Amino acid sequence: MRLVVARCTVEYEGRLAARLEEAVRLIMRKADGSLAIHADGGAYKPLNWMSPPNFLEESEGRWVVSNEAGERLVITLHEVVSDVSHDLGEDPGLWKDGVEAHLQELLANDPSVLGEDYRLIRREYPTAIGPVDLLVRDADGNVVAVEVKRRGETTGVEQLARYLEFLNKTETLAPVCGLLVAQQINPGARVLAEERGIRCLLVDYSRLKGDAPEELRLF
Amino acid sequence: MKFRCERDSLTNAIGRASRAVAKSTHSLIHQGLLLQLDGDSLTVTGSDIDLTIQARVEVTGFESGEVLVPSRLFVDVIRHLPLGAVDVTLAESNVVIRDARERSEFLVRTMNSADFVSVPEVETAPISVEVSDFVAGLKRVIPAARKDDSRPILTGVLVATKGSSLRLVATDSYRLGLCDLDGIDMGVDEEGVIVPSRALEEITKVMGDVDKLFVKLDDNTAVFEFDDLTVTTRLINGDFPSYENLIPTDHPNVLIANRVEMLDAIRRVRLVGDTETPIRINIQSDSVTLSSGTDRGEAKEVIENIEYKGEELQIAFNASYLNDGIEVARSDAIVLLTADALKPALLKGDGDTGFLYLLMPVRVV
């Protein structure tokens, strides 16, 4: 990662012509070949940029970045304030908290969250139209197909309804009920779920993964 | 269908029945109020399937019949009419509502009454119950019932026979309210039935000024009948948690404090916290200090007029749960029995043997 802070002017030619008048800016050249020119504002959005693959031709006081599409970015450096490079190493990637897979795993570990005496049959139960997140049995031994979402929307209800239609054709499982589990469920999804005979359940992700303060309970 | 009725009488009936109407838009049909006119008797029914409330009102009937109307609109229209008599007439697919002086006229589209839920019938003999004690008992335990449906069994109130008493128990697993009502027999056995707390709460709100109610129960349904009102609810199937062995019989620490002083102190201390902020209680031989704090600030209240027997103790509780328990203890003084900072505390009114409130402390750093 090379970071250059410089007083510069920038001219772009390609899909259109654009010019950045002389000012101090951050020029960011990443290891993947991308180049972005930032002002001290505009959040994450660069003023101008060139995606990889591209070719950087660097000379005294002048960078020319071009690509095969014929786009050309000419940066004239009037004064270089700072020019540093860092090896950031391999990035472990973004871990999104609350992803459905983790929610699914937590529920699989403790199916009683879904209902009293619920027992896990299988996680990612395979069907010809895709895997059902969780297949569980309720206290009476009935099979329940569980769709786990971070946010419950009508698409999730429809997806579960398709699974139910398929599973209820399987004699060894039928009758199979549906349960939509999510951290939030929008009103439309609730209406649709009720129409399809699918129960909705809100879960507290923080509490499931134990981030919430430990609560003392009577039972 | 055509009838005339005083606005306030009709408002009262439809207002009570509409309490059972589904609050959300889950299903359009459950947003309706069913009006059934038989002679001079109008029955108004609201239902969300689980809970049904039927209110009866005497009217001047001109033509019997029934119609399903959208609850909210119908209630709003009737409520806003001028004081006096109201004429309601079914005209094809509309209900025409006029004040008797014919200055106001509304046309409300009707709904298809064929789709309305059928109210379950219970054939068992009705049992008469004294209202005042029963309702007072309900009001003491209902706050402890769970509000969300993550554990459906806990959204109900256990109604069971215990010796010569009717026992009411509700718990959300953090606290438990138990009330024994002497001399009330509701025809339930020791195992009891679990009645949705929502239905019982509505009973306490809609029943009006009556001395007796009649209860009919079968395996799935409970019916509560008053003079002009019938509340029908499905029962919750399942086993209520074993609670009796949770109630400690031995508490080394006994605090007796003025109930109103405690409530006032809690109310003030809670000002700096939010719903989740616990209240810390420091109990010493001659005083109790309640404190709470968040990023917004800190609060402390000292109550000196107490009696305490036991070790000095620091314990914390969920502020709402503690407040609820003290609120429903009816005596001038409350008794707080504790073992240590992590074991359930027992709260009751001083000298009140029919009620107890078990409260789990909150672990604080």
Do the domains spanning A2-85 and A100-218 agree at the CATH topology level?
A: no
Cβ of B246 within 8 Å of Cβ of A219? The answer is yes
Q: Which pLDDT value is given to residue B276?
A: 75
Which residue among B150, B175, B176 sits closest to A201, beta carbon to beta carbon?
A: B150
Cβ of B25 within 8 Å of Cβ of A203? The answer is no
Distances (CA, A) of B186 to A9, A116, A147, B230, B307: 88, 28, 42, 16, 39
- pLDDT greater than 80 at residue B280: yes
Q: Span B21-41, mean pLDDT?
A: 81
Whole-model pTM? 0.67
Smallest Cα distance from B175 to chain A, Å = 7
pLDDT band at B101 (very low <50, low <70, confident <90, very high): confident
Q: Span B128-157, mean pLDDT?
A: 89
Two tokens, residue B81: 């009419």
Which of the pair, A131 or A26, is modelled with greater confidence?
A26
Mutate to test the interface with A, among B31, B149, B178, B321 (most CBs of A within 10 A): B149
Cβ of A190 within 8 Å of Cβ of B152? The answer is no
Domain ranges of chain A: 2-85, 100-218
Residues of A in contact with B173 (CB under 8 A): 217-219
Determine the residue of chain A that is closest to B357 in CA distance.
A218
Say yes or no: B325 contacts chain A, CB-CB below 8 A. Answer: no
Residues of B in contact with A201 (CB under 8 A): 149-150
CA A9/CA A14 separation, integer angstroms: 17
- pLDDT greater than 70 at residue A37: yes
Overall fold of domain A100-218:
Trna Endonuclease; Chain: A, domain 1 (3.40.1350)
Which of the pair, A94 or B289, is modelled with greater confidence?
B289
Across A151-155, B47-51, B141-145, B224-228, which has the greatest mean pLDDT?
B141-145
Residue by residue, DSSP assigns B145-185 as: S-SSTTSGGGGEEEEEEETTEEEEEEE-SSEEEEEEEET--
Residues of A in contact with B153 (CB under 8 A): 116
Smallest Cα distance from B248 to chain A, Å = 11
Determine the residue of chain B that is closest to A194 in CA distance.
B26
Interval B102-111: pLDDT, tens? 899 999 999 9
Q: Which pLDDT value is given to residue A62?
A: 94
Q: Is the ipTM of this complex over 0.90?
A: no
Assign 3-class secondary structure to chain A.
CEEEEEEEEEEEECCCEEEEEEEEEEEEECCCCCEEEECCCCCCCCCEEECCCCEEEEECCEEEEECCCCCEEEEEEEEEEEEEECCCCCCCCCCCCCCHHHHHHHHHHCHHHCCCCCEEEEEEECCCCCCEEEEEECCCCCEEEEEEEEEECHHHHHHHHHHHHHHCCCCCCCCEEEEEEEEEECHHHHHHHHHCCEEEEECCHHHHCCCCCCCCCCC
CA B10/CA B158 separation, integer angstroms: 34
For chain B, what is the mean pLDDT? 92
pLDDT band at A95 (very low <50, low <70, confident <90, very high): low
Q: Which pLDDT value is given to residue A99?
A: 67
Q: Which pLDDT value is given to residue B119?
A: 87
pLDDT band at B240 (very low <50, low <70, confident <90, very high): very high
**Residue carrying the six token digits 């970015």:** A73
Q: Which pLDDT value is given to residue B332?
A: 95
Say yes or no: B148 contacts chain A, CB-CB below 8 A. Answer: yes
Interval A57-66: pLDDT, tens? 999 999 999 9
For chain A, what is the mean pLDDT? 88
Please name the residues in contact with B300: beta carbons below 8 A apart, sequence gap of 6 or more.
B269, B289, B290, B291
CATH number of the domain located at residue range(s) A2-85 in this protein: 2.70.180.20
Q: Which pLDDT value is given to residue B28?
A: 64
CA A38/CA B178 separation, integer angstroms: 66
Interval A170-206: pLDDT, tens? 888 889 999 999 887 877 788 889 888 999 998 877 6
Smallest Cα distance from A108 to chain B, Å = 16
Q: Which pLDDT value is given to residue A116?
A: 85
Which of the pair, B239 or A75, is modelled with greater confidence?
A75
CA A192/CA B249 separation, integer angstroms: 50
Q: Which pLDDT value is given to residue B318?
A: 93
* Of B184, B226, B221, B189, the residue nearest B204 (C-alpha): B226
Residues of A in contact with B27 (CB under 8 A): 191, 194-195
pLDDT band at A97 (very low <50, low <70, confident <90, very high): low
- pLDDT greater than 70 at residue A213: no
Q: Which pLDDT value is given to residue B144?
A: 96
pLDDT band at B100 (very low <50, low <70, confident <90, very high): confident
Q: Which pLDDT value is given to residue A186?
A: 79
Q: Span B134-158, mean pLDDT?
A: 89
pLDDT band at B56 (very low <50, low <70, confident <90, very high): very high
pLDDT band at A14 (very low <50, low <70, confident <90, very high): confident
- pLDDT greater than 70 at residue A219: yes
Interval B168-214: pLDDT, tens? 999 999 999 999 999 899 989 999 999 999 999 999 988 778 889 99
Q: Which pLDDT value is given to residue B27?
A: 58
- pLDDT greater than 80 at residue B45: yes
- pLDDT greater than 80 at residue B133: yes
Interval B290-339: pLDDT, tens? 999 887 889 999 999 899 999 999 999 999 999 999 999 989 999 999 99
